[in-house]
Amino acid sequence: MQKISSCDFVWQNWQVWVKSRISTVRDLRAILVGMAYDLQLVPEQRGLYILVDSKFTKARLESELQAFKEIVDDKLAEGIYLALFERDKGFVYFPEQQCNIPLNELKPLIQQEQSSIGISSPGATRIAILNLLILQWLSQGEPQTTEGLSIASGASYPTVFNTIKQLEAENLITRQTDRRVSLKRFPVNLWKRWVVESEARKSVRFRDISGQPRTPEDMAERLKKLHLQNVAIGGVFGARYYYPKLDITGSPRLDLVVHGGINSDLEFIKKLDPALSPIVNVVEPVNVVVHFLSRAEAMFIKDSNGFVLADPIECLANLYQGGLDYQADDMLSKLIIKCEEEKEC
């Protein structure tokens, strides 16, 4: 494949674009217009636009494409195609009869697009890979491939490879005969050091300026009613789900985890409490802290009460950042003991 200026790549007579997280009809229609304009300049070319991890269904995508083709020149319409790729399923919509581009040629483009989403720094990427390995260890899941870690974390192959090498140097990695990897144990000290060293703990702090703040529990209920899929509850509230015996009375603040980067839309905060205002001073008391989870897969869960919760490792990191070291250490040790006991059974 050869890189050209008007699209992402070209293969024979095909121009190929790859874009992630397209979710609005307006954006999709703008894409189709842009494709038509580019292809009009080179009539012998065909165009394929791959939407990665989009919220569009196959039916809606086909409907919008057909409607667009009905309003443009027939010859131009014949060369415009869309594809839909989902991280867990692969291609769920692809013009197989019309497009002869080998899928192994498209795969690196998709992985490159996925790896570019939300990565705030090399440190954040490294801790994301380690967190995924730790979650696999805690859940006693299957060993993971480099490709799987790359897709789930949003990191490039070289970054995943180098991170695994670092862990191997500390005798923390077990390799299977098929090259899949897993952790030998929970690397407590290394994990804490990497969390501190990396910039993965970027956050925005909010304080109630009315003098009558809502409780964290009340704001959590309000958040649940918003039905946001990219915002989860972490901190004390989330930690109690994984470790009900957490030694703390009440929740001093509400920790929220947004699946995205530091520039994510935080307008929903006003719906939790209009009196919440962002503050910069880290020593001031806060009511809400928003953390940002930049890896490709959020791995949020929903509990029996309908609350969306961050993973246990993210909740632990929130506790440490909030100065609840004793509670976090207790929770961490109990999770490790429970996991090791289950592995022996």
Interval 194-218: pLDDT, tens:
876 654 457 899 999 998 889 999 9
CA end-to-end distance (rounded Å), the chain: 51
CATH 3.40.1350 in the chain, residue ranges: 9-115
Cross-strand bridge partners of residue 237: none
pLDDT score recorded for residue 121: 43
Say whether pLDDT at 72 is over 80: yes
pLDDT score recorded for residue 295: 82
pLDDT digits (tens, 9 = 90+) for 45-67: 899 999 888 878 889 999 999 99
Say whether pLDDT at 94 is over 50: yes
| Residue carrying structure tokens 């929970």 | 186
Say whether pLDDT at 230 is over 60: yes
CATH 3.40.50 fits 9-115, yes or no: no
Question: If you average pLDDT over every residue of the chain, what do you get?
Answer: 85
What is the average pLDDT across 27-48? 85
pLDDT score recorded for residue 4: 33
pLDDT score recorded for residue 122: 47
Distance, CA of 97 to CA of 223 (rounded, Å): 45
Distance, CA of 168 to CA of 162 (rounded, Å): 10
Distance, CA of 71 to CA of 80 (rounded, Å): 13
Is pLDDT larger for residue 254 or for residue 57? 254
pLDDT score recorded for residue 120: 41
pLDDT score recorded for residue 303: 93
Say whether pLDDT at 273 is over 50: yes
The domain 122-197: what is its CATH number? 1.10.10.10
- 10 Å CB burial of residue 72 (0-12, 13-18, 19+) is middle
pLDDT digits (tens, 9 = 90+) for 322-340: 889 999 999 999 999 988 8
Percent of the chain with pLDDT over 70: 90
Distance, CA of 126 to CA of 257 (rounded, Å): 18
CATH 1.10.10.10 in the chain, residue ranges: 122-197
Distance, CA of 273 to CA of 106 (rounded, Å): 45
- Output the pTM of the full model: 0.64
